[in-house]
Structure 1
């Protein structure tokens, strides 16, 4: 019998963890020839989520729990949980029920037919039109500039075969961009579309900073195009500055008594080039920060407690 681990990262999800557990259990009870366990990794919640997880684990030995020593962020904690999954495959399923657990049946069916990577993609979502348009524009942008072919509208929801997980464990990335790494490993994904519903319980933990962090991580991890654009823009703007300076000099020499440059062009030019410099310095800083994160080699998370789970495997 094949064994699958469902990995659910959570942070302050006291309203959702029991429901996502019930729905996942109902799905796997309807699948023949497959056993499962449900691994919850809690990112130092300050509500009742840890207590609920402990109770669930005491009532059902198939429920496994990892409690982090502190909040390690929305990038590292889910990835660490995925790497701790036992068995023949793992499914990453968020706790807020915005990824439909019922789709896991199709994940398992394609996996049983031989697929090593089955992912859910969301071409539509029940969110504001502006936010969805921004997300879609980002996915298209990062797909165009990335060094590898990324999966559009993919958030991590999917089934990962043991072979995929073994490759991910060898990468040893302290701040991984999972959506890009699944493309880096080279397994051809089976894509299953779904409509992402609105969150029904609790409050979303994604704010502007977390979304920006995810966006910049995707760019700095899988593309050098922005750096090359900065270099090209530097050559172009320096040439433009030289051309404007020569034009102004010629106009002043020809119309010495009547031509007055004034302060407005100087101020506009000063602020324009200063803003361009600040933008590209900030962009360069993002790449330097990504390099610093890689060099420091800090652990993904530090665990405070494990329930119904063996010691972590050696990666």
Structure 2
């Protein structure tokens, strides 16, 4: 049985981006025929037609699961909800607005195949300055510390 990769995202008013996101992810996953793929998309009460696009996508591809939230749960809880509904052996969390190119999935999967339990991308070369830069650096520092100590967390294998 093939292992499954879950690609998760959340969206709010991303009617134009969702088809591009989906197609670009599919193109990357075509390079990894040894895996099955599922998409778990959590919609935050979009009002621009995104929900119709998602319904059409799910109707044509049974690998697409859509969660239609009753409220806008924001950029933290909504992706977490998608993550909780993923059934894959590995979960990739992406932004549907294409801030991160779906092509990075290729690099993530290669690292996962090397045995890494957690793979995270670091955005570089941004135009962030001032307080945004400070918070971004704190976030990446915390992410690094979490990764270093992942084996000491309850329920996470130490290897």
TM-score by length of 1: 0.44
Partner of 1:123: 124
Specify whether residues 66 and 36 from structure 1 end up closer, same or farther in structure 2 by C-alpha distance, changes over 3 A only. same
Cα-to-partner distance string for 1:105-137 (whole Å, 9 max, x where unaligned): 111111111110000001212x4xxx3443222
Question: Distance between the aligned counterparts of 2:88 and 2:4, measured in 1?
Answer: 5
Question: Distance between the aligned counterparts of 1:96 and 1:107, measured in 2?
Answer: 19
Q: Contact between 1:39 and 1:64, CA under 8 Å: does it hold in 2?
A: yes
Q: Contact between 1:6 and 1:39, CA under 8 Å: does it hold in 2?
A: yes
Cα-to-partner distance string for 1:217-247 (whole Å, 9 max, x where unaligned): xxxxxxxxxxxxxxxxxxxxxxxxxxxxxxx
Matched, 1:139 2:136: yes
Matched, 1:35 2:36: yes
Q: Contact between 2:38 and 2:88, CA under 8 Å: does it hold in 1?
A: no
Greater RCO, CA 8 A, separation 6+:
2
Question: Distance between the aligned counterparts of 2:56 and 2:96, measured in 1?
Answer: 17
Gaps of 5+ in 2: 152-159
Of Structure 1 and Structure 2, the greater helix share is in 1
CA RMSD of aligned residues (A): 2.1
Gaps of 5+ in 1: 144-148, 153-179, 189-315
TM-score by length of 2: 0.85
Specify whether residues 68 and 185 from structure 1 end up closer, same or farther in structure 2 by C-alpha distance, changes over 3 A only. farther
Q: Contact between 1:116 and 1:187, CA under 8 Å: does it hold in 2?
A: no
Matched, 1:150 2:151: no
Question: Distance between the aligned counterparts of 1:132 and 1:38, measured in 2?
Answer: 34
- Structure with larger Rg: 1
Specify whether residues 134 and 31 from structure 1 end up closer, same or farther in structure 2 by C-alpha distance, changes over 3 A only. same
Matched, 1:67 2:30: no
Cα-to-partner distance string for 1:71-120 (whole Å, 9 max, x where unaligned): 12222111111111112011001111110111101111111111100000
How many matched pairs?
149
